[in-house]
Amino acid sequence: MNCIVETIAGKIEYNVYGNGKPIVFLHGGHSNSQEKLFLKGYNKNCFKLIVPSRPGYGKTPISNKTTHKDAAQLIIALLDVLQIKKCVVVGISAGGLTAIQMAATYPNRVEKLLLISAITQKWLSPEDTLYKMGKIVFSPMVERFTWSVYRLLFSLLPKTMTKVLFKQVSSITNTTITENEICEVKKMVSVQRSKKGFVADLDHDISNDAITKIKCPTLILHSKNDKSVAIAMAHHANTNINNSILKVYNNKWGHLLWLGKDSEAPIADANSFINSENIRYK
């Protein structure tokens, strides 16, 4: 169910799947409420999966909401509209900072926190080549063309383009990519756009004390082969969140923990964490 609602903090687009315990998914860069890859493995008869488009993505206007703090406030306003008092929050990749801000600032609204391949502190600096390239290639004036070409190439050369993407997200070499994996990647890419969200993400930063304020149970899932977000981000979160558990995987797809056969282990760990009442912390 795709919706756009007006909240006290502004308009926001979101999708809802299933019924039951509410889980809010904060997507990564270039994504939006239409992406379903990270929903794989959740029982929709037990969970209400809520996927909002963060400010600047999908049909959620960025207006003056350019920071992760603004995004956290907007998500809380959405929960108010949906009459959800408390939920599990999942921060994926660039959605990690918004998830951390929610758990730190609104502790009475976040039951548990799950960080998947997540950015947990400043990702890139203006001096970094990737930062400079991102500001140009995915600028609001250019990103439509960038994604049109990208999707065209995926349509014409799906296997080749999947290999190109693989090299960007995983440090694994000399591996075989299956037809099913190519299909999953094509579905993911088909709904992606940067719009005004990604260039805003590039400037997101978070105060050093914010992450230390998190008190809710936290599970951090990361790959040792993640080529997009360094595993140091996961260790940073684990060190600074008292009630946290870190699980590291040796998966093929690196940053994309929910892709391919290797996704079975993190999916099982995520479900166990969300359903568990007795969690052991460090």
Q: Give the Å distances, CA to CA, from 104 to 100, 146, 206, 229.
A: 6, 36, 11, 22
Distance (Å, rounded) from C-alpha 93 to C-alpha 35? Answer: 14
Question: What is the distance, to the nearest Å, from the Cα of residue 152 to the centroid of all Cα atoms in its chain?
Answer: 25
Distance (Å, rounded) from C-alpha 33 to C-alpha 59? Answer: 9
Q: Which of 33, 53, 93, 263 is catalytic?
A: 93
Catalytic residue flag (residue 190): no
Distance (Å, rounded) from C-alpha 129 to C-alpha 41? Answer: 36
Residue count of the chain: 282
108 neighbors 132 (Cβ within 8 angstroms): no
Residues annotated catalytic, as ranges: 93
